Structure 1
Amino acid sequence: MDKQQFESWRYDVQPALSSKVDEFHFLGYERVTEDQVWACLMYRLRKQKEFIHLHAFVQAILSLKVQDYMTWVTKESYREKNDWFAKETIV
């Protein structure tokens, strides 16, 4: 699916994103941002072959579960190139 389709809807679906972030904050996940929720959704919808209507896209936002979001965050943290031991010197 073309990423621009979703990017053009970013402003239109902002209330749904904000609602989802508020929900996560209410559940104790205070550090969640709209940008992170957006990136998670883009990752989850990256393999969609057919056209997604706006109402279905909003449904995808509102149905995002904390477990799915946290799984995505964990995978992203493993993908980052953190060389934790590069700064340590061997004595």
Structure 2
Amino acid sequence: MEILQKASEWKEMVDPALESKAGEFHLMGYEKATSEDIWNCLVQKVWKGDPELRLYEVVGDIFHLGTNTYLSYLTVNAYKDDDGLMASIAAVTGSESDNI
């Protein structure tokens, strides 16, 4: 019998696979890769939310996650963080973010 659950419900069970993927990325030179970043990448870029999946689908997606997708996820998040940083600077200095 195949069990269908929300992806988030499988997270604890697939943590060893996430750690393994983080280790793989470390060997490829991505030293700061974490299992949490990999999970968030899957949620945002691969699954686009919290779909119902079978365990083998979640594990398969973890092991098939490529560095291109992961780096794209990191890049988008870096841009999002920069926008927040600029807004914070503007709030502190009292200036418009366009003038910074």
Q: Which one has more relative contact order, counting CA pairs under 8 Å at least 6 apart? A: 1
CA shift at 1:20, angstroms?
Answer: 0.3
Tell me which residue corresponds to 2:33: 32
Tell me which residue corresponds to 2:12: 11
CA shift at 1:43, angstroms?
Answer: 0.4
Across the two proteins, how many residue pairs are aligned to each other? 86
Large movers: runs of 4+ above 2 Å: 84-89
1:5-27, CA deviations, whole angstroms, 9 ceiling, x for partnerless residues?
22221111011101100000000
1:73 and 1:24 map into 2 onto residues whose CA distance is: 13
Q: Which has the larger radius of gyration?
A: 2
Identity %: 31
Tell me which residue corresponds to 2:71: 70
Q: How high is the TM-score relative to the length of structure 2? A: 0.73
**Greater helix share, structure number:** 2
CA shift at 1:33, angstroms?
Answer: 0.8
2:67 and 2:40 map into 1 onto residues whose CA distance is: 14
Structure 2 stretches lacking a partner, 5+ long: 96-100
Contact in 1 for aligned 2:43/2:49 (Cα 8 Å): no
Q: How high is the TM-score relative to the length of structure 1? A: 0.79
Structure 1 stretches lacking a partner, 5+ long: none
**Greater strand share, structure number:** 2
